Amino acid sequence: MTSLKKLPTLAAIAAIAATAGAQAQSSKADLESVQRAVHVCASCHGENGNSTKPLIPSLAGQMREYTIRQLKDFRSQSRSETDIQAYMWGISALLSDEQIEGFADYYAAQKPAPGKSTNPKLEAIGKVIYEKGLADKGVLPCKQCHGDNAEGASGFPRPAGQKADYVYKQLQAFRTPLRPHGVVMKNEIAAMTPQQLKAVAAYVQSR
45: containing domain: 6-108
Write out the binding residues for heme c: 41, 44-45, 88, 142, 145-146, 185
Same domain? For 22 and 62 the reply is yes
In whole angstroms, what is the distance from residue 182 CA to residue 119 CA?
28
DSSP code string of 115-142: P--S-HHHHHHHHHHHHH-BGGGTBPPT
pLDDT at 130: 98
Statement to judge: residues 142 and 190 lie in one domain: yes
Q: What local confidence, expressed as pLDDT, does residue 181 receive? A: 86
Domain match, 124 and 196 both: yes
Assigned domain for 40 exists: yes
In degrees rounded to 5, what are phi and psi of residue 139? -95, 125
Pair 13, 84 in one domain: yes
| Domain stop point among 81, 108, 135 | 108
What is the reported pLDDT for 83? 80
Q: Is 87 exposed, middle or buried (0-12, 13-18, 19+ CB in 10 A)?
A: middle
pLDDT at 1: 45
Q: What does each C-alpha distance from 203 to 5, 92, 101, 131, 206 come to in angstroms? A: 33, 31, 30, 11, 5
Residues 46, 86 within the same domain: yes
CATH of the domain at 192: 1.10.760.10
Tell me, yes or no, whether 10 and 94 share the same domain: yes
CA gap 38, 107 in Å, rounded:
9
Q: For the beta carbon of residue 40, count every other beta carbon within 10 angstroms.
A: 18
Per-residue pLDDT of the chain (207 residues; tens, 9 = 90+): 444 444 555 555 555 554 444 443 445 556 566 677 788 899 999 999 999 999 999 999 999 999 999 999 999 999 988 888 778 999 899 888 988 999 999 999 999 999 999 999 999 999 999 999 999 999 999 999 999 999 999 889 999 999 999 999 999 999 998 888 888 999 999 999 999 999 999 999 999
Looking at residue 96, its pLDDT comes to 85
pLDDT at 2: 45
Annotated binding site: 41, 44-45, 88, 142, 145-146, 185
| Residue 26, pLDDT score | 40
Same domain, 103 and 128: no
